[in-house]
Each structure stands twice: as C-alpha cells, then as structure tokens.
Chains A and B, each alone.
Chain A
Amino acid sequence: MQFRHKIAGGDFAKAGNAAISVKKVLSQLNINHTIAKKIVIALYEGEVNVVAHAWSGIVDVEIDENQIRILITDKGPGIEDIEQAMKEGYSTASPQVREMGFGAGLGLSNMRKNSDFMNITSIPGEGTVVELINNFRPDAG
C-alpha cells in the first residue's frame, strides 16, 4: 500500500494531518498499537518540521506486511549541520513558532527514538529528505 500527503510550509492548521491519516490506516490494518504509535509520533515531528522550517514538502508512505517506510521530502533551507540539529534543545524556530509551543528542539530526537531506522540527507538552500522505517514485528531486522 502506498500513499502520499502534501505539506505546505507555514500551514500550522494542517500540521499533523498526515500523521492522523497514517494512524487511521495502521489501526485499520490492525498493526500493533505500540508500534503504530511510535511511527505516528515520528511522522508528526517530521511533518511539523516541514511546516515550521521548510517551504513545502511531500510525505510518501509505503506499507507492506513487514514494515512501514516514510519519506519526507521538502523544499526548504536544508540543514547545514545535521549532527547539531539532532541535539536536544537545538532549535532555529522563530519567536512566533516558539510562542505556539514548538521549537523545543526535541522533534528530531523524538523521531530517532521512535523509529527503527532514520536517515537524514540535506542540501543547504535546496531541501531535506528524512527517511523513517519501522518494523511491524519487533524481532525483524
């Protein structure tokens, strides 16, 4: 099963919609609740990062019997130093975004903690691609 979600930078009203729709699909597929919750947290944070930090993005979701793979591809400023961005507390969020309670600098770390595999590639000035994979069976690769 494959589907795609578009994200508009700055559109906080719709932030979380991709995660909400994936949550519904996983529950219809009877995926283990604990496993589903983790991937949904990771996706939510990735989605909000596009809204908060980039200009536009696409979420591609691929689900088979073993795993869910999510690719979040955005056009945006990119991330110069990924290691620094991953550090808890590091954030370049604007004051307006912080006022809404975003910008704690915890999103990427939540994504790492809640995924089995995470890979970020980014070209400064162009955009960022985040890949997330979660296995449905805890013992699988």
Chain B
Amino acid sequence: MKISDLTNSLGLEVICGQQGLTNEIRGCYVSDLLSDVMGTAREGDIWITLQTHQNIIAVASLKDLAGIILVKGLVPETETVEKSNSSGIPVLSTSLDTFTIAGKMYELLKKE
C-alpha cells in the first residue's frame, strides 16, 4: 500500500512532501516521544503523532519512515513544511484523534 492509497481510504489531507506519496507503507507506529520513535519505529512505518515541529522530519527521514500523519487537524509548522518538501517525507493531516485514526489504520494494514 502506498501513501497515496491512504489519502482516499482514510480521507487524509496531504499537506506537504508530495514527492513521497509513492512511498510504500509497511507498518504503523504511534508515539509523541521522538526517542521512542527513534528506538522502536521500523523502516516504512507511517508515523501517527501530534508533534508538529521540524524535528519530526529529521526523525522520519533518519528512520526511513513512509510518512507522518498529524492528528486532530493539527498543521505542521512552517519549517516542518519546508523540510518535508526538501526531504520528500509526506505530512498528512486528519481531523480524527489518535485512537480513531490508529484503529482505522490497523484495520487497513491487517488486510494487507
């Protein structure tokens, strides 16, 4: 499944990092603690978080994550948008809360 497939099935808004929409999703990780993501997320995971600052892009690109979903309608900071576009890490947004979007993601990935 690619990120672009998610945008339709989960109604996500693509905010930036469009070049990465073809990234393949292998799994999902949910955390708001950056060093927890550094230690535990796996390559190709999509990362669900409420953190919006630019360090999330460094973490995602160092870990080769597929992309980032911001919850509850949060929007990335300006620097985050710039870094997302330059590194090709797509940032998507949902109006849903973490529990709900993670549940939907689980159902989707289970079918794979």
Q: Mark A residues whose CB is within 8 Å of B.
A: 12-13, 15-17, 19-20, 23, 37, 40-41, 44-45, 48, 100-102, 104-107, 109-110, 113
Q: Which residues of B contact A20 (CB under 8 A)?
A: 58, 61-62
Q: Which residues of A contact B62 (CB under 8 A)?
A: 16, 19-20, 23, 40-41, 44
> Separation in Å of the A51 CB from the closest CB of chain B?
9
20 extra A-B contacts, CB within 8 A, seeds A23-B62, A41-B39: A12-B53, A12-B54, A13-B54, A13-B79, A15-B58, A16-B55, A16-B58, A16-B59, A19-B58, A40-B62, A41-B38, A41-B62, A44-B59, A48-B34, A100-B51, A101-B49, A102-B34, A105-B35, A106-B38, A110-B39
Scoring B49, B62, B64, B79 by chain A CB atoms within 10 A of each residue's CB, the highest score goes to: B62
8 Å CB interface, B42-101 against A: 43, 49, 51, 53-56, 58-59, 61-64, 79
Scoring B34, B53, B79 by chain A CB atoms within 10 A of each residue's CB, the highest score goes to: B34
Q: Which residues of B contact A19 (CB under 8 A)?
A: 58, 62
Is B34 in contact with A101, judged by CB distance below 8 angstroms? yes
Output the nearest chain A residue to B37 by Cβ-Cβ distance: A101
Is B61 in contact with A110, judged by CB distance below 8 angstroms? no
Is A104 in contact with B55, judged by CB distance below 8 angstroms? no
The reply to whether the CB of B10 lies closer than 8 angstroms to some CB of chain A is no
Is B55 in contact with A100, judged by CB distance below 8 angstroms? yes
Output the nearest chain A residue to B57 by Cβ-Cβ distance: A16
> Separation in Å of the B63 CB from the closest CB of chain A?
8
> Separation in Å of the B95 CB from the closest CB of chain A?
21
A106 contact from B33, B49, B58, Cβ within 8 A: B33
Q: Which residues of A contact B63 (CB under 8 A)?
A: 37, 41
